[in-house]
Amino acid sequence: MRLLTHNMLQCHVKSCNDPALNFPLQFQEVELEQIEAEENEALLLNLVGKIDWPALVQTTSELGITGLPPTKPDVVKNDPALMKRLHEILLETNVAQGKMVCRGCGHSYPIKDGIPNMLLAEHEI
């Protein structure tokens, strides 16, 4: 699973609705892998407008990935090095194995061969 996708997801256990806790999910015991992605400047700029920057910064630092400014820069477009790094992080950095754990309710969503299982249990729906 790519880090972009991680930024798009939150814990969706029914009773877990504190936005300060149900997002971002915390990666644990992960195995990372780089998979090339098509470069598309327009999309990347578009995504920068949509993603939750603080969540991305928190997640990357938990994973030991560096190269992102702590606050979202006003203009990303004119910074080719940052654009390149963002592309590598959002679109090319994959979690092959591991889990995503909710900081609110503790639900652990397993990731196997890059595919997260986000089905809820009976008491969570």
21 touches 40 (CB < 8 A): no
Q: For residues 64 and 77, what is the distance between their CA atoms, to the nearest angstrom?
A: 25
Nearer to Zn ion, 48 or 109 (CB): 109
Q: Give the torsion sign (CA, 48, 51, 57, 62).
A: negative
| Burial class of 75 by CB neighbour count within 10 A (0 to 12, 13 to 18, 19+) | exposed
Q: Does 16 bind Zn ion (CB under 5 A)?
A: yes
21 binds other proteins per the rule CB under 8 A: no
Q: Does 28 bind other proteins (CB under 8 A)?
A: no
Among 20, 34, 36, 78, binds other proteins (CB under 8 A): 36
Q: Which of 20, 75, 81, 121 binds other proteins (CB under 8 A)?
A: 121
86 touching other proteins, by CB under 8 A: no
Residue 46 contacts other proteins per CB under 8 A? yes
Measured distance CA(61)–CA(86) in Å, rounded: 14
Candidate segments 26-34, 57-65, 74-82, 114-122, binder of other proteins by CB under 8 A: 114-122
